[in-house]
Amino acid sequence: MSLFNRRTLLMLPLALATCGFEPVYAPGGSGDALNGKVQVSAPNDVESYLLVQNLEQRLGRSSGSVKDYQLDVNLVTQTRRAAIRTTNETDRYTIEGRARFALKSNETGQIMTSGTVSDFVGYSAAGSTVSTLADERDATDRLMVILSDQIVSRLYAAPGLTQ
């Protein structure tokens, strides 16, 4: 006896439609409502610049002088030693990042959604100085991609952003 039942598979779209499920990238969905209409706050350091760059790639860079939404992002990162030898040399570091965000409607001034996302990445410091610096830059890039993905996911899931 097979667990696969075609009738169940055919009922899935109906079940999703009745529960309020709406695809993000469908016409009128929250992805469409935000695409190219969000101005992200100006970065104040290298990490913030990378975060804003990733957010603009995912949300679409706002074109024109009128923006529907303003996204304010406050980023804090902290580097910690993760693996320390008995000789007190550090072999591995972690970078912890926390980003607070708030999406505000420029039309009404109302905050549509806000929240905090956080994550961490690690990198090796066991090689030469040049390789350690390259690993640190790469880890920072990865962390900013992770945080921007989390922010965009939260924005798309926010209620009330459909057109």
pLDDT in tens, 66-96: 678 899 999 999 999 998 888 988 899 999 9
Stretch among 31-45, 97-111, 123-137 having the lowest mean pLDDT: 31-45
Nearest Cα to Cα of residue 95 among 83, 82, 108, 86: 82
Which pTM does this prediction carry?
0.80
Query: pLDDT tens digits, residue range 110-149?
Result: 999 999 999 999 999 988 999 999 999 999 999 999 999 9
| pLDDT for residue 18 is more than 70 | no
List, in sequence order, every residue forming a beta bridge with 92; answer none if it has no partner: 83, 124
Q: Write down the pLDDT at residue 23.
A: 64
DSSP lists the bridge partners of residue 118 as 98
Which is it for strands 38-40 and 69-84: parallel, antiparallel or unpaired?
parallel
> Quick check: 59 and 73 in contact, CB under 8 A?
no
- Report the half-sphere exposure of 158 (CA within 13 A, side-chain side): 23
84 vs 112: CA distance, rounded Å: 44
**Considering the chain, what is the average pLDDT of its residues?**
84
Q: What is the pLDDT of residue 147?
A: 97
